[in-house]
Amino acid sequence: MPAAGGLVGLLAGDPSVIGGYRLLGRLGAGGMGVVYLGRTDAGELAAVKVTLADRAERADFRARFRREVEAARRVVSPWAVPVLGADPDAPEPWLATAFVPGPSLGEAVVAHGPLPGRSLRVLGGAVARALAAVHAAGLVHRDVKPGNVLLAVDGPRLIDFGIARAADPAAETALTGTDLVVGTPGFLAPEQAEARTEDIGPASDVFAFGCLLAYAATGRPPFGTGAVDALMYRTVHDEPDLDGVPPGLLPLLRDCLAKDPAARPTAAELAGRLVVDTPGTASDWLPAPVVHTIAERSARMLALPDIEATTAGTAPPEPPSRSRRRFLLASGAAAVLAAGGAGTWLALRDDRPDAKGTPPPKARRWTIGVQADLSGPGKELGQAQERGVRLAVEAFNSRKDRPFTLDVKVSDDRGDQTRALAAARALTTDPDVLGIVGPSHDYTGYEALPAYDEALLPVLTVSAGLNLLVSPAQNQGRSILRACPIHAYGGMCLAYHAQAVHHPKRPGLLQERTDDTYSWQYMLGADFGFRQGGIRPHPRVIPGGAKGLERVLGEMVDAGIDAYVHAGLLPSAVRAAKALDALGFTGPRLAGQHVFGDGFLREAGRAAEGWTLGAPVIDPATRKEAAAFVAAHRTRYGTAPGWYAGEAYDITLFLAKHVEEAYRKSGKRPDRTTLPAVLRKAVLTGALSRRSFDESGNLGGSGTFMYAVENGRYRSLGYAPLGPPKQAGS
């Protein structure tokens, strides 16, 4: 169940009343349903989880939902969020739990950094006690993670028993599969990662608890981030990264993170080892910035509107009285006020509905959002895209006939998956943002999907080729337009180019498992592309971190490969370039989008010569239509445009054009949720290229451009072929 931070308004099709709860807004939404913030006539707040009707029609769904309700009701602990009501038999089954106005542990750590020592002990002691209650009820939670722990003024709360199971696996055979991995990668026990159903039990929650406490202490998961497959591998085989954990907690965490379930302590034993005074108030156990976040969110509850009923036969509510508003504070903000004193109260006073001197509302802006990695490992690509957006907005604003003026709002996710959702919500919850250019990276985009799908405003990416970003089957990415091909298609294009230009007979394919979704898709696409031309490749796979890379490359050369395709990331591609150079291999060497860029030229040096790379980016210097853009970039930033700056420039003007058209047709600011459908039917004709989209938002056509490395620079080879030689031009 979500915390309070992402509250957005109700949509036109949302009900206003469910099971006696007046709905005030949406806390979250996904493929399974919606979570609303609800309020009873007495003023009690609740998180109301409602399942979509089409899900409820599935044969086994109601049994699973009923099990979730029963599991949550069986857990009795002051540190677990209680169930307030439920109806598994309703047309759209719903479950209401007590609402906690504080952030999740994940939100707090992303926003304010790791927790200090006392906070960690209070957190650990309370969550351990909650897990002990879960296990005493004969259950296994199975999804203990930062998003499922809420930080309240009087201590943390464990939430979400949606995938809890009976501790006896035999009791659940009718509802589970033996090969299904359930839970959150990075916070799974090894037995969960390997889907060893018979070994999953209370000890699995203890392992996840260790991951959670390590994350709270260091700000990072103990087995890193990245592709699911890589996380699973590290969880099973690698030792956890506990650098930065306070020394007093290290023995406990090492015990929790033992690979053998039998070697881990019980939750009750952990609670005994983490004995600490009760939290008291937020200022007693939480850092000041987190206390302030709780205060802000609690204060927002004062201003929540009543809404007209849309459920038949329901009388409209009476206006909220001052006493009811005071009641809303009692569960959260009042405790903060007691802890924070007059300074906190003064900070909240002017947000009261009856406060005097409240400034008038600001005029609405017309804003383009940018979500990108601007200060992390992919900052070159992210900064280039930001510059492209700013130049496009400046070009639009320079028009004398413009009907409005555009602004730019930037949200830096630092290339960090744990920051991605918050970075996205900083844009999607701003009503002035009419569309987002970004994300700049696959996995930050994937983590931001809940925010995109809740808001349904247009999200236009020029570099995120992960196939799961747009998935109609999973009801996600509903408003995304991808102006670049998916990675599997990029891999096919490498194979098509190799056949058209080099005619290999035995190409070698190397897949690196570090970033497995990208690498696996490139490998799959290249293999398919070669086989379409009647060529059987020689594939190999190396573990994450490119362990054994040089040895495997030597074996591939000895096996007689006459071309090499690298399905992996930049660091391993640099090593591969140098190793193949040392081996004297002079055949065609190809790599894809996540290797392309100036970093490969710098780091591989002389060994990069002769490589061919494919990416969804055009060199603006090769197109006369882009001359004005190149000149503007040099004038504004003093350099030639970086890779992807031109694509961001084109896509921003494409968005602005259709916002303007919608405004001129209606005479008013367009509803941003109507724009994705319009954009998907339109054709982008920009300074660099002409692109169209299918009804799902994916790029139509090729979109992959080929480059040869010559004399330390990239030379454009033009579009990649659309098929192997015998199908060229089809």
Question: Tens of pLDDT along 652-673?
Answer: 999 999 999 999 999 999 999 9
Place of tokens 């998180």: 47
Tell me: pLDDT of 391 over 70.
Answer: yes
Q: What pLDDT is recorded for position 183?
A: 66
Q: What pLDDT is recorded for position 249?
A: 94
Does the N-terminal peptide bond of residue 721 adopt cis geometry, omega within 30 degrees of 0? no
CA-to-CA separations, 579 to 222, 507, 573, 609, in angstroms, rounded: 31, 17, 10, 13
Spelled out in words, what is the top-level CATH class assigned to the domain 488-615+706-727? Answer: alpha beta
Tell me: pLDDT of 301 over 90.
Answer: no
Tell me: pLDDT of 2 over 50.
Answer: no
The DSSP symbol for 668 reads: S
| pTM recorded for the entire structure | 0.56
Active-site position among 89, 143, 432, 516: 143
Tell me: pLDDT of 209 over 50.
Answer: yes
SS3 labels along 229-245:
HHHHHHHHHCCCCCCCC
Angstrom distance (rounded) from CA 75 to CA 81 = 9
Q: Which residues make up the CATH 3.40.50.2300 domain(s) of the chain?
A: 366-485+622-697, 488-615+706-727
Nearest to 189 by CA among 142, 137, 221, 229: 142
In this structure, are residues 343 and 316 in contact, taking their beta carbons and an 8 Å threshold? no
Comparing 727 with 688, which gets the higher pLDDT?
Answer: 688
- Secondary element (H or E) of residue 582: helix 570-583
Tell me: pLDDT of 313 over 50.
Answer: no
pLDDT band, residue 723 (cuts 50/70/90): confident
Tell me: pLDDT of 280 over 50.
Answer: no
First to last CA, the chain: 50
DSSP states along 413-473: -TT-HHHHHHHHHHHHT-TTEEEEE--SSHHHHHHTHHHHHHH---EEESS---GGGSBGG
pLDDT band, residue 32 (cuts 50/70/90): low
Q: Is 143 known to be catalytic? A: yes
pLDDT band, residue 90 (cuts 50/70/90): confident
The DSSP symbol for 624 reads: G
Tell me: pLDDT of 584 over 90.
Answer: yes
SS3 labels along 139-200:
EECCCCCHHHEEEECCEEEECCCCCCEECCHHHHCCCCCCCCCCCCCCCCCHHHHCCCHHHC
Question: Average pLDDT, whole number, for the chain?
Answer: 83
Span 407-433, average pLDDT: 94
Nearest to 398 by CA among 630, 684, 556, 632: 632
Q: What are the pLDDT digits (tens) for 91-123? A: 888 888 888 888 899 999 998 999 999 899 999
Q: What pLDDT is recorded for position 6?
A: 58
Q: What pLDDT is recorded for position 102?
A: 84
CA-to-CA separations, 689 to 161, 180, 461, in angstroms, rounded: 49, 43, 15
Q: Is 568 left (phi over 0), alpha (psi -120 to 50) or beta?
A: beta
Span 562-583, average pLDDT: 96
Span 288-313, average pLDDT: 60
Strand partners, 685: 690
> DSSP 3-state assignment of 24?
strand
CATH number of 366-485+622-697: 3.40.50.2300
Tell me: pLDDT of 12 over 50.
Answer: yes
The beta-strand segments (E) located in 518-616 are 538-542, 563-567, 589-591, 611-615
Most confident of 5-14, 62-71, 252-261, 327-336: 252-261
Query: What percentage of the chain has pLDDT greater than the value 70?
Result: 82
Angstrom distance (rounded) from CA 208 to CA 127 = 11
Q: Please enumerate in sequence order all residues whose Cβ is within 8 A of that of 360, keeping only pairs 6 or more positions apart, or say none.
A: none
> DSSP 3-state assignment of 662?
helix
Span 206-218, average pLDDT: 96
> DSSP 3-state assignment of 27?
strand
> Reduced to 3 DSSP states, what percent helix, strand and coil does the chain have, rounded to the nearest 5?
45, 15, 40
| Burial zone of 275 (CB within 10 Å; 0-12 exposed, 13-18 middle, 19+ buried) | exposed
The DSSP symbol for 681 reads: H
Angstrom distance (rounded) from CA 577 to CA 599 = 13
Q: Please enumerate in sequence order all residues whose Cβ is within 8 A of that of 13, keeping only pairs 6 or more positions apart, or say none.
A: none
Q: What are the pLDDT digits (tens) for 591-637? A: 999 999 999 999 999 999 999 999 999 999 999 999 999 999 999 99
The DSSP symbol for 698 reads: P
pLDDT band, residue 341 (cuts 50/70/90): very low
Place of tokens 């913030």: 37
- Secondary element (H or E) of residue 552: helix 549-558
pLDDT band, residue 129 (cuts 50/70/90): very high
Most confident of 66-80, 169-183, 608-622: 608-622
Tell me: pLDDT of 275 over 80.
Answer: no
CA-to-CA separations, 119 to 256, 288, 694, in angstroms, rounded: 19, 11, 50
Strand partners, 28: 35
Tell me: pLDDT of 359 over 80.
Answer: no
Q: Which two tokens stand for residue 696?
A: 């799902």
Q: Which two tokens stand for residue 609?
A: 């010569």
Span 178-207, average pLDDT: 80
The beta-strand segments (E) located in 62-154 are 83-87, 94-98, 139-140, 149-152
Q: What pLDDT is recorded for position 182?
A: 54
Q: What pLDDT is recorded for position 337?
A: 37
Query: What percentage of the chain has pLDDT greater than the value 90?
Result: 55
Nearest to 354 by CA among 314, 302, 400: 302
Fold type of domain 105-284: Transferase(Phosphotransferase); domain 1 (1.10.510)
Place of tokens 């510059």: 387
Q: What are the pLDDT digits (tens) for 486-515? A: 999 999 999 999 999 999 999 999 998 865
Please report, as a single letter, which amino acid is at residue 339.
A
In this structure, are residues 568 and 541 in contact, taking their beta carbons and an 8 Å threshold? no
pLDDT band, residue 333 (cuts 50/70/90): very low
In this structure, are residues 652 and 392 in contact, taking their beta carbons and an 8 Å threshold? yes
Tell me: pLDDT of 677 over 90.
Answer: yes
Q: Which two tokens stand for residue 71?
A: 């599991």
Of the listed ranges 71-85, 134-148, 333-347, 705-719, the one predicted with least confidence: 333-347
Q: Which residues make up the CATH 1.10.510.10 domain(s) of the chain?
A: 105-284
Q: Which two tokens stand for residue 171?
A: 């009791």
Strand partners, 87: 94
CA 509 from chain centre, in angstroms, equals: 30
Q: Please enumerate in sequence order all residues whose Cβ is within 8 A of that of 565, keeping only pairs 6 or more positions apart, or say none.
A: 491, 494, 495, 498, 507, 508, 509, 510, 522, 526, 537, 590, 591
